[in-house]
């Protein structure tokens, strides 16, 4: 009799040990360790994005942003001085699949299919003629910053789905300006992707330089009020995956704009820049290396690198940086430039929008 | 002959028709047109292991995840949050695309530091985030003789020792008169009812952490039914044999109590081991002291049925077996909880423990009436029962994990 009950105890022990072994085999630490070590062998040399430009890695290697998906940071060149009318056509669609980080897609609303929209460029005193075509299901507008009549302000007249509207105004003053949809709820319309940069050149061209246009923005994928990704030109880490190539001594003019609802602090490493606030002056006001851009503020930063190597450019709000507002200038020695005439074309050129 | 065929046909017809219906539905969706406005994806974290740096290999976080959504999911991006979030390097095995109910391990070489809170965010290719919070970072215990020894000792402290100490009360209890014995058995019932209700609550709470497809509450029903009915059938079988031999049931009941408490302690050990492993136990010493006092009462519950039975020389060995049966599973529980935590097994064991305890309650109540002619509904016995509840409540105040 008691043997039976003792047997029950032994049986319990056996069953429990078997379960323990089973658990060990399936979810066991040993298996996890082996897998982790195996992965270390394969991916162990990868580093978080802040630890150097050559070996950095922040995403599954097979899922890096492809070169053709990079937003070209080069704005259109200054328009010819005798062209007095600058015409653009902006098409709004609401079904854009935007790759906000490598392999991470979000539904976006976009001007001409990209977030941010294309850089518009005109000259002070010339006529801007911008045709909006609404191919979405909601009414949209374009609201431009700058001086213009009320009826061209893109606030009162909603362009219905399927509709068109042509904005016409004399570009003034010269500077850097945001444009964005102003339909309500405006927060949704802007941060779903309907924004872009407009550059108005002065009558006399600024000194020619290598030019970059950089829109700083962010994306809240799960709508919890906190951005999940921050980006230069709409895609987190795209210029970390594909550094922008510069040359020692090459003069650079970077147009920057903050279109998100948090301050942004563009900062370039190993260098100082001449700051022209809002782009509304010909002469720089300040030599610095970090600038706080308030909401919708913008500026021109002019600089050149004296020695070759990788230099980070980032938002100095560290969370913004670590969630995507970070990239690299790969500065090459001058000799390379002489040897390769085509070196001016950086990897992102001709790609993106 | 023909009737047999008719029976089989009448069984198979609905099955065949269902098969036809399913095939048709699979290919045509039956005219239903439901499209989700957004991708439906669900991923749960089954386990998050924090590994310290060892040699040239840096610190890392290994997240064991399971896809519990309706379709495959692809993990495309990882962020680790501390005060603020940061995108981080990761690798994922066996594949970033996880089939339904499939698992993967996400390995993040993140230099976590002891004592900090962290948040792990996985983004699917459709931009859906899945978040897991690590309340206090501490190295997850790794399997080794030394660490196993630690958790085995933890099990001995909270499970085995207190049970044996409780059993040592037996000589004292044997001095009690018949009325006092009724009080003692009622007290035992109170202790056990409290344990059972507590275990059910734990199982329900734990079931909330289980992914939907695992149907946590259903697992509880299975666990409780398994032990309640299984032990019922077992005790009836033993009782029938005992009666045939003219023996008494007291010792059998004691073993049943020990068995039930043993499974309960297994579940308890899982919770304690898991909490220690996750670094969620802030007051370790106090917790152990609380469990020692709490589980002392379990020893009393085990020997209560045999207090008044014949206890000849040589039978004291049973006390050792009873104590081991009730106490040893705690060691198993703490070790499993620490090294291979599985929410599914935890729910199952805790509910098996609950069912076993309730079965034992019925058994003791029957024994009171049958063998000792004691009525439960007497002021003394009811107050014993209530005191049992109160003792468990009071000693339980120390051990809120």
Residue A284, judged by CB atoms within 10 A of its CB (0-12, 13-18, 19+), counts as middle
Task: Say yes or no to pLDDT of B331 above 80.
Answer: yes
What per-residue confidence (pLDDT) applies to B245? 74
Are the beta carbons of A1 and B325 separated by less than 8 Å?
no
Model confidence band, residue A9 (pLDDT cutoffs 50, 70, 90) = low
pLDDT: which is higher, A306 or B265: A306
DSSP character at residue B57: B
Domain residue spans in chain A?
67-344
Judged by CB atoms within 8 Å, which residues 99-138 of A form the interface with B?
A: 100-106
pLDDT tens per residue across span A233-243: 999 999 988 89
Nearest to B125 among A30, A104, A319 (CB): A104
- How close is the nearest chain A Cα to the Cα of B159, in Å? 16
Per the domain annotation, does B8 fall within a domain?
Answer: no
Topology annotation, domain A67-344: Immunoglobulin-like (2.60.40)
> How far is residue B22's CA from residue B156's CA, in Å, rounded to a whole number?
54
Cβ A322–B96 below 8 Å, yes or no?
no
Within this chain, do residues B110 and B192 fall inside the same structural domain, yes or no?
no
Mean pLDDT of B148-175: 85
Same domain, B379 and B278: yes
Nearest to B336 among A23, A30, A58 (CB): A23
Question: Does residue B32 lie in a domain region?
Answer: no
B74/A12 Cβ within 8 A = no
- The C-alpha atoms of residue A3 and residue A23 are separated, in whole angstroms, by 30
On the question of pLDDT at A296 being above 70, the answer is yes
Nearest CA in chain B to A31: B105
In order of A177, A241, A329, B86, the CA distances from A54 in angstroms are 35, 10, 12, 20
Both tokens assigned to B388: 């049992």
The reply to whether residue B89 touches residue A48, judged by beta carbons under 8 angstroms, is: yes
Best B39, B127, B243, B341 member to test A by mutation, with max A CBs in 10 Å, is B127
User: Are B119 and B234 in the same domain?
Assistant: no
- B14 domain-assigned: no
A65: nearest CA in chain B? B76
Q: What is the pLDDT of residues B231-265, one digit of tens each?
A: 888 888 887 887 777 666 778 888 888 888 888 88
B144 touches chain A (CB under 8 A): no
Contact indicator for B351, B260 with CB cutoff of 8 Å? no
Mean of the pLDDT values across residues B183-189?
A: 86
Q: What is the pLDDT of residues B288-306, one digit of tens each?
A: 777 777 778 788 888 888 8
More confident residue, A107 or A24: A107
Pick the residue from chain B with its C-alpha nearest to A58.
B89
CB within 8 Å: B87 and A8: no
* Lowest mean pLDDT segment, chosen from A343-347, B46-50, B393-397: A343-347
User: Measured between beta carbons, which residues in chain A are less than 8 angstroms from residue B96?
Assistant: 60, 62-63
**Which of A20, A39, A48 has its CB closest to that of B336?**
A20
Condensed to tens digits (0 to 9), the pLDDT of residues A206-225 reads 999 999 999 999 999 988 88
CB contacts < 8 A, A to B, total 167
Report the percent of chain A where pLDDT is more than 70: 77
Higher pLDDT, A73 or B289: A73
In tens, the pLDDT along A266-282 reads 999 999 999 999 999 99
Q: Is A60 on the interface with B (CB under 8 A)?
A: yes
| Mean pLDDT on B107-128 | 90
Residues 6+ apart with CB under 8 A from B32: none
- Candidates B91, B241, B335; nearest CB to A1: B241
**End of a domain among B134, B162, B184?**
B134
Min Cα distance B92 → chain A (Å) is 8
Interface check B259 vs A, CB under 8 A: yes
Helix (H) or strand (E) holding B364: helix B343-372
Residue B236, chain A, CB below 8 Å: the answer is no
Asked whether residue B26 is domain-assigned, the answer is no
> What pLDDT is stored for residue A27 in this prediction?
42
Output helix, strand, coil percentages for chain A, rounded to the nearest 5. Answer: 20, 35, 45
Question: Between these two residues, A15 and B103, which has the higher pLDDT value?
Answer: B103
Closest CA to A163 of A135, A123, A195, A202: A135
CA distance A91 to chain B (A): 24
pLDDT at B141 over 80: no
| pLDDT of the residue at B278 | 61
Does B12 reside within a domain?
no
Q: How far is CA B140 from CA B10, B51, B153, B337, in A?
A: 57, 6, 18, 12
According to the model, what pLDDT value does residue B139 have?
83
Kindly report, residue by residue over A316-352, the tens digit of the pLDDT. Answer: 999 999 999 999 999 999 875 555 544 444 444 433 3
Position A43 pLDDT exceeds 50: no
Min Cα–Cα distance to chain A from B153, Å: 18
Same domain, yes or no, for B384 and B243?
yes
| Average per-residue pLDDT for chain B | 83
| Segment holding A11, helix H or strand E | helix A2-27
Beta carbons of A144 and A101 less than 8 angstroms apart: no
Structure confidence at residue A40 (pLDDT): 46
Residue B238 has what pLDDT?
80
List Cα–Cα distances, B12 to A39, B2, B3, B16, B21, in angstroms.
Answer: 51, 15, 14, 6, 14
Note whether residue B250 is domain-resident. yes
User: A59: which chain B residues are within 8 Å (Cβ-Cβ)?
Assistant: 76-78, 87, 89-90
Chain B residues within 8 A of A323 when measuring between CB atoms: 79, 85-87
* Entry pTM: 0.74
Q: CA-to-CA distance for A250 and A208, rounded, in angstroms?
A: 11
Domain-located, residue B28: no
Q: What is the pLDDT of residue B351?
A: 86
**pLDDT for residue A36 is more than 60:** no
B293 touches chain A (CB under 8 A): no
The verdict on B60 touching A (C-beta cutoff 8 Å) is: yes
**Into how many domains does chain B fold?**
2
B274 and B317 inside one domain: yes
3-state secondary structure of A69: helix
**Both B185 and B232 in a single domain?**
yes
Lowest mean per-residue pLDDT among A78-92, A116-130, B224-238: B224-238
CB-count exposure of residue A17 (10 Å: 0-12, 13-18, 19+) = exposed
In the stretch 191-230 of chain B, residues with CB closer than 8 A to chain A read none
Residue A44 backbone zone (phi > 0: left; psi -120 to 50: alpha; other: beta): alpha
Give yes or no: residues B78 and B206 share one domain: no
Of A218-227, B11-20, B103-112, B254-263, the range with the lowest mean pLDDT is B254-263
Question: What is the CB-side half-sphere exposure of residue A99 using CA atoms within 13 A?
Answer: 16
B223 and B304 together in one domain:
yes
A 286-325 near B (Cβ less than 8 A): 318-319, 322-324
Rounded to the nearest integer, the mean pLDDT of chain A is: 84
Q: Are residues B154 and B126 in the same domain?
A: no
B348 assigned to some structural domain: yes
pLDDT digits (tens, 9 = 90+) for A171-208: 999 999 999 999 999 999 999 999 999 999 999 999 99
- Give A302's pLDDT tier (boundaries 50, 70, 90): very high
Categorize the per-residue pLDDT at B287 as very low, low, confident or very high, splitting at 50, 70 and 90.
Answer: low
Q: Is A150 on the interface with B (CB under 8 A)?
A: no
Structural domain containing residue B89: 43-134
- pLDDT tens for A154-175 read 998 899 999 999 999 999 999 9
Higher pLDDT, B115 or A264: A264
pLDDT of residue B179: 81
Nearest to B84 among A103, A236, A319 (CB): A319
Instruction: Show which of residues 95-114 on chain B sit within 8 Å of chain A, judged by CB atoms.
Output: 96, 105, 107, 109-110
Could you tell me if B365 and B251 lie in one domain?
Answer: yes
Check residue A24 and give its pLDDT. Answer: 42
Of A38, A48, A100, the CB nearest to B88: A48
Q: Which residues of B touch A61 (CB under 8 A)?
A: 91
The closest alpha carbon to B96, from B111, B116, B76, belongs to B76
Pairing, β A104-111 against β B85-87: unpaired
CA closest to A104 among chain B residues: B125
Per DSSP, which regions of B109-184 are E strands?
118-124, 129-134
What is the distance in angstroms between the Cα of B149 and the nearest Cα belonging to chain A?
16
Asked whether the ipTM of the predicted complex exceeds the cut of 0.90, the reply is: no
| Cβ-Cβ contacts under 8 Å, A9 against chain B | 255, 259, 321, 324-325
């Amino acid at each position: 009799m008691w043997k039976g009950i003792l047997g029950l105890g032994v049986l319990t022990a056996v069953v429990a040990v078997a379960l323990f072994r089973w658990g060990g085999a399936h979810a066991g630490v040993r298996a996890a360790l082996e897998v982790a070590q195996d992965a270390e062998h394969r991916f162990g040399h990868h580093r978080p994005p802040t630890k150097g430009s050559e070996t950095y890695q922040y995403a599954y290697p097979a899922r890096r942003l492809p070169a053709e998906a990079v937003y070209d940071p080069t704005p259109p060149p200054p328009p010819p001085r005798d062209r007095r009318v600058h015409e653009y056509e902006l098409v709004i669609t609401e079904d854009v699949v935007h790759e906000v980080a490598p392999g991470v897609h979000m539904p976006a609303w976009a001007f001409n299919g990209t977030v941010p929209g294309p850089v518009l460029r005109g000259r002070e005193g010339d006529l801007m003629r911008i045709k909006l075509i609404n191919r979405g299901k909601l009414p949209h507008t374009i609201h431009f910053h700058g001086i213009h009549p009320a009826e061209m302000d893109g606030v009162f007249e909603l362009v219905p789905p399927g509709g068109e509207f042509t904005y016409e105004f004399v570009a003034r003053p010269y500077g850097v300006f945001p444009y964005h949809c102003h339909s309500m709820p405006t927060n949704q319309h802007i941060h779903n992707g309907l924004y872009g940069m407009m550059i108005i050149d002065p009558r006399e061209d600024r000194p020619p330089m290598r030019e970059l246009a950089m829109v700083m923005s962010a994306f809240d994928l799960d709508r919890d009020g906190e951005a999940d990704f921050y980006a230069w030109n709409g895609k987190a880490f795209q210029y970390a995956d594909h550094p922008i190539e510069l040359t020692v001594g090459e003069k650079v003019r970077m147009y920057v704009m903050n279109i998100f609802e948090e301050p942004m602090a563009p900062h370039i490493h190993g260098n100082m820049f001449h700051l022209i606030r809002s782009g509304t002056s010909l002469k720089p006001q300040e030599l610095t290396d970090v600038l706080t851009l308030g909401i919708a503020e913008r500026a021109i930063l002019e600089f050149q690198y004296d020695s070759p190597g990788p230099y980070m450019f980032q938002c100095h709000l560290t969370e913004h940086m670590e969630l995507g507002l970070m990239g690299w200038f790969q500065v090459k020695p001058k000799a390379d430039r002489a040897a390769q005439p085509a070196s001016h074309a950086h990897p992102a050129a001709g790609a993106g929008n | 002959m023909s009737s047999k065929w008719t029976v089989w046909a009448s069984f198979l017809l609905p099955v065949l028709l269902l098969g036809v219906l399913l095939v048709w539905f699979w290919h045509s969706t039956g005219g239903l047109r439901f499209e989700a406005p957004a991708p439906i994806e669900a991923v749960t974290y089954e386990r998050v292991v924090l590994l310290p740096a060892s040699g040239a290999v840096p610190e890392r976080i290994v997240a064991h995840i399971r896809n519990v959504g309706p379709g495959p999911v692809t993990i495309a991006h990882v962020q680790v949050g501390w005060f603020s979030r940061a995108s981080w390097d990761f690798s994922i095995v066996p594949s970033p695309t996880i089939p339904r109910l499939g698992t993967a391990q996400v390995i993040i070489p993140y230099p976590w530091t002891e004592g900090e809170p962290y948040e792990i965010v996985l983004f699917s290719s459709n931009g859906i985030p899945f978040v897991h919070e690590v309340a206090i970072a501490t190295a997850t215990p790794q399997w080794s003789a030394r660490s196993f020894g630690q958790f085995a000792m933890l099990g001995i402290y909270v499970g085995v020792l207190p049970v044996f100490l409780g059993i040592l009360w037996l000589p004292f209890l044997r001095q009690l008169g018949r009325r006092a014995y009724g009080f003692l058995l009622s007290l035992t019932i109170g202790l056990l009812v409290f344990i059972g209700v507590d275990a059910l609550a734990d199982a329900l709470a734990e079931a909330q952490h289980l992914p939907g497809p695992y149907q946590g509450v259903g697992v509880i029903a299975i666990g409780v039914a398994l032990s309640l009915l299984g032990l019922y059938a077992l005790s009836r079988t033993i009782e029938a044999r005992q009666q045939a031999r003219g023996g008494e049931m007291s010792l059998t009941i004691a073993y049943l109590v020990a068995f039930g408490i043993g499974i309960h302690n297994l579940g308890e050990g899982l919770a304690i081991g898991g909490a220690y492993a996750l670094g969620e136990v802030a007051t370790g010493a106090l917790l152990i002291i609380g469990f020692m006092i709490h589980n002392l009462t379990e020893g009393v519950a085990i020997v209560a049925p045999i207090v008044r039975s014949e206890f000849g020389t040589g039978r004291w060995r049973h006390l050792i077996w009873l104590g081991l049966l009730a106490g040893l599973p705690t060691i198993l529980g703490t070790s499993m909880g620490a090294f291979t935590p599985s929410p599914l097994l935890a729910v199952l064991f805790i509910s098996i423990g609950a069912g076993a305890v309730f079965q034992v309650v019925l058994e003791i109540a029957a024994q009171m009436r049958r063998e000792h002619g004691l009525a439960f509904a007497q002021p003394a016995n009811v107050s014993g029962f209530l005191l049992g509840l109160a003792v468990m409540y009071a000693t339980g105040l120390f051990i809120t994990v």
